[in-house]
Structure 1
Amino acid sequence: MAWRVQFHADFAREADELAEALRVELRASIRLLEHLGPSLGRPTADTTVRSTRT
């Protein structure tokens, strides 16, 4: 079963400003979440390990 991941508009704007490496990591995590849904578990599904602005 595929899950649908949606961003709040404020987060989508912030995500666009992340460094390329973090955007790649974010996209990979989203693909995992879309595939596994709530069974993905911690830390990928419900916590932020790091966040930096460029």
Structure 2
Amino acid sequence: MCNSSSSISSDVLVEELKMENNLLKRKIQVLQELLEFKMEKIRAENGNIKK
């Protein structure tokens, strides 16, 4: 990457990092929801075993 226009490239880099950050936040949210769902499923299965 060349630094001939450092201000433009840094702005672009900041925007790219913001987009990547938002994508990662969404991925984390999806994974948390999936984990919650799986935990509820496991709790339900454990409840059925105990009965």
Q: Report the TM range for the smaller structure's normalisation.
A: 0.3 to 0.5
Q: Identify which of structures 1 and 2 has the higher relative contact order when contacts are C-alpha pairs closer than 8 Å and 6+ apart.
A: 1
Give the TM-score normalised by structure 1. Answer: 0.34
Give the TM-score normalised by structure 2. Answer: 0.36
More helix by share: 2
Computing the radius of gyration from Cα coordinates, the structure with the larger value is 2
